[in-house]
Structures are given as C-alpha cells and as structure tokens.
Amino acid sequence: MSGLRVLKPGPLSLLQDAGRRGWQHLGVSPSGALDGHAAAWANHLLGNPWGTPLLEIALGDVQLRSEVDTWLALTGADLPASIEGQPLPGWSRFPLRAGQCLRLGFARSGQRAYLAAAGGFQAAAVLGSVSAQSREGFGGLDGQGGKLRVGDLLPCAAAHLPRAASVPWPYQPSYRGTPLLRVITGGDAVEFAEEQLQAFFEQGWQLSPQSDRMGARLQGEPLQAPSRQWSLGVNRGAIQVPPDGQPIILQADHQTMGGYPILGWLHPLDLWRLAQSPAQQAVRFTPVSVSDAQAELREFYRFFGR
C-alpha cells in the first residue's frame, strides 16, 4: 500500500487511536491520543469513525511526502503548515497529491498536533489497538511502540472529498494563558485534612519538565497526604499525591496499579487541555461535580458519534 513517506519525523511522532482497552488487569496501560478533543476533530473532519488511527506529533518539525492522492486533516497545536510552500490553515482538512510534500514547523502554542488521513493510517493492531506505547513496546507503526523514523511509510488509501473544510472557530481551543482545570474530588479525598484540599485548589501549580505521556507532574507548595498501606487500580486522570507532596496527574500511558493516595480525578474533557500545556506552564484547579462532568462528556461523545 502507498501512503506518506517520512522525510523528517520530528522529536516524537507516534501512531495513536482511541486506546488499548480491556487489558489493565494484566498490567497493560490504555495509551491512545493525549489530546482526545483534537484527535476527535481531526477524524471528524474526514468522516472517519471515532478512534481511527492518526498521527500524534509532539512539538512539530515534521515533513511528509505523499505517494498517493489523498485527504488529510490537521488539528491540535498551533504550528506553521504548508504544502509546497503554500500555507495551510489549522483545524482543517485539505488534499495532498502524490509527489507533494507537507511541512509542519515547530509549535507556537500547544504541544501536540494531530494528523489524520481519510480512512485512517494502516498498521497491525496489538491487543486490539495500534496505539504506540514505547515503555511496554506495544503498537505503533513497527508494532513495538516505536516513534516515526526517516524513511518510514505511513500507509493510507487514496481518497477524494468534495471540498476543503475547517472546524468552526468557536470550537477551536486556545492553548495560551493559564488553564483552569476542573477536578472531581474523590478517592482518598476524605482522608486529606480540609486545609490541604483548600491548598490544592487555592494555590497555583506549575507543570514539571519531568511530565510525559505517563503522567503530568505538578510543582508547588507541597501537600501533606494521608498514608496508605495498599495499592489499587488506577486510571487516567487520577490525581496521586506521593510522599513529597507534589501531585501527579496520570495520563494515557499510566501504570495500572498505584499506592499513592488519590485526591480526585481531572475532568475527562480537561485532560486534553492539560496535554497541550508545556513544561513550566502555570495551571490552576477548581472543583466540579460528577453529574456535571458526566453530562458534558455524554454531549461530547454524542457529537462525535461514539
């Protein structure tokens, strides 16, 4: 099959989909796109079903030459994009003809861009998903969790769509400024002293440079966490507080068991805003109810046909 030839892979470009579900009891993390909002829009622009495999591009600096006439969509981080020197708008779909080169520069805001192809990029699924998980060696283009390399071929099919299209501007998020992220308190929250919970919500935090696809680490005035003597299953969005008092928000490649006390969970729709925040980014938190978070998530899934 023909597709897109990788001329320049960027710092970290990974094949992702909706994630590897149903294997956490065996210690396998779900993985999947870190910014599910941008990934969903990229596939939606092309008429692809929810979770169709696409490319997650960290920071940018990617060049791809097409070997087929197809259509692509680009969403996520704000970065310069062009085809044969002609600039492209973000959050849009566009044709790419055989022999043409797509160039993506470094991100001006945000951390991850998402490139989808009509019909999706083709790769062998590992445990039901093509999502690359480098730590465990699952998925990706090579089947072992590897990132894109020079000379790789991203297989995709020929396609024709009637016209270009873009996401309406009110639905295009801004990744600038200090995000206010919503938290559903729970888990071990009742074991935290009231003043410690207040301190979590009242103070500003910074994202540590040690953050990655496994977890977003916060830096700020340390919290005093209650002790716990056992481990339990954890999921994405859990806010763990280790002994040093610096919270960790679990991301897509999170471990499946953890022993640190859990203060609560990040609103699922705000996890994706967190994924676009760079190191040293200031972040703040505010409480949200379970019912409000569920209602918003149901609306989001209904729109994208999940």
What is the C-alpha to C-alpha distance for residues 30 and 132, in angstroms, rounded to an integer? 10
Question: DSSP secondary structure string, 58-77?
Answer: ESEEEEEEESS-EEEEEEEE
Q: SS3 of 303, please? A: helix
Question: What is the per-residue pLDDT for 231?
Answer: 87
Question: What is the per-residue pLDDT for 42?
Answer: 98
- Give the model confidence (pLDDT) of 140-188 as tens digits: 999 999 999 999 999 999 999 999 999 999 999 999 999 999 999 999 9
Between CA 301 and CA 304, with CA 303 as vertex, the angle to 5 degrees is: 65
State whether 57 and 81 are in the same domain: yes
Question: What is the per-residue pLDDT for 201?
Answer: 97
State whether 100 and 247 are in the same domain: no
The structure's pTM equals 0.95
State whether 129 and 191 are in the same domain: no
Beta bridge partners of 94: 72
| Structural domain that includes position 50 | 3-171
State whether 154 and 217 are in the same domain: no
- As a 3-state breakdown, the chain gives helix, strand, coil percent values, each rounded to 5, of 15, 35, 50
State whether 150 and 8 are in the same domain: yes
Count of structural domains within the chain: 2
Question: What is the per-residue pLDDT for 227?
Answer: 83
What is the C-alpha to C-alpha distance for residues 252 and 38, in angstroms, rounded to an integer? 15
Evaluate whether 58 touches 134 at the Cβ level (below 8 Å). no
Record the tokens describing residue 68, joined without a space: 């087929």
Question: What is the per-residue pLDDT for 228?
Answer: 76
Residue 241 belongs to domain with CATH number:
2.40.100.10
State whether 93 and 161 are in the same domain: yes
- Give the model confidence (pLDDT) of 88-97 as tens digits: 999 999 999 9
State whether 162 and 276 are in the same domain: no
Give pLDDT < 70 ranges for the chain. Answer: 229
